[in-house]
Amino acid sequence: MRLDGDVPAMYAEFADYADGSSPSFARWARRVAADADVVAWLEDLPPVKRQPNLVFAAARRHGVPAPGPYEGLRRALLADDGSIRATILSHATQTNEAGRMATLVPAFAAVAGERPLALIEVGPSAGLCLVPDRWGYAWRTPAGEKRIPAPDGGGVLSCDVTGPAPLPDRVPTVAWRTGLDLNPLDVRDDEQMAWLETLVWPEADDRRAQLRTAIRLTRVDPPPLVRGDLLVDLDGLIDRAQAEAPGAAVIVFHTVVAMYLSADDRAAFADAMRARVAAGRCHWVSSEVPGVVPGVAGDGVTAGRLVLAIDGAPAGAAHQHGRTLDWFG
């Protein structure tokens, strides 16, 4: 889903994206796309703040029930006294779904082999995806289940897998980790974590429970997060990873981040990452909406799926919340 198009098209595309995962949000989005008054209200927001996830979460935070009738959302937006608008302007969609680690870990294994990992996440939110070593995994394949037990106190992430995915035999060893975000969240801040929970789609009780587990596991020893710009500050972190974790596989990764950049910034970031990979400075693992990362083809990847790419080449199709992984090849 692109955030740089017109509002009706964005909401219509989001409806397709949400189908099967959130019927209530899919219905809301389709009604918004056809509602000239609500579209006009949204068009008064800055372009990056018009996105459905953010608008719907802000409305829910101010009492709009979901699942619930579209008329409740419409009434709240059009009669807003400025409260919903203020929440939209002051917040962002920083979900970083922990379940995506079940699709990322095979990609990490593909580039690292037996080496420990030095992870740099771009757009980490509260760093929930920077702790793949604190979870167990259950990958269900046509040949049977591949299971890695959870470390003490950890949770288990499950994923249905097809294709020759390089599923590891043990939890990854993370030698070094950090994240780079314009607005990093503090996993120890209850109010910020309540906002993350509001961003979880209304029908997704399993994701809410998983989010709470992810917050608990991340709070044990929160990864260091750096406030900065991915176009300016990434090389310094790569330098640090190489110096402080010699012998580790340095991996820059991101999930559903590129869609929030302008087209020019997406192109600049992709070019810079390819140059870093070519120079041997790091590996690059991305899991993004099809067509968003320049040069990363999304042919055949359907709505609700992400293109999982390694060093700029598509490697698989991953469910947006980590439930499935179809490995190419």
Residue range 177-212, pLDDT digits in tens = 999 999 999 999 999 999 999 999 999 999 999 999
pLDDT bucket at 4, cuts 50 / 70 / 90: low
Average pLDDT over residues 270-292: 97
Cα separation of 119 and 31, whole Å? 41
Tokens representing 222 are 């929160």
Average pLDDT over residues 109-131: 97
CB 4 within 8 A of CB 262: yes
Average pLDDT over residues 313-321: 95
The model carries a pTM of 0.90
Query: What integer pLDDT is reported at residue 177 of this predicted model?
Result: 99
Query: What integer pLDDT is reported at residue 26 of this predicted model?
Result: 97
Average pLDDT over residues 248-276: 96
pLDDT of residue 3 exceeding 80 = no
Query: What integer pLDDT is reported at residue 51 of this predicted model?
Result: 94
The domains found in the chain, sorted by start residue, are 7-90 (no CATH), 98-327 (3.40.50)
CA 123 remoteness from chain centre = 8
Cα separation of 285 and 273, whole Å? 10
Radius of gyration of the chain (CA): 19
261-281 in b/e form (b: 16+ CB < 10 A) is beeeebeebbeebeebbeeeb
Query: What integer pLDDT is reported at residue 93 of this predicted model?
Result: 86
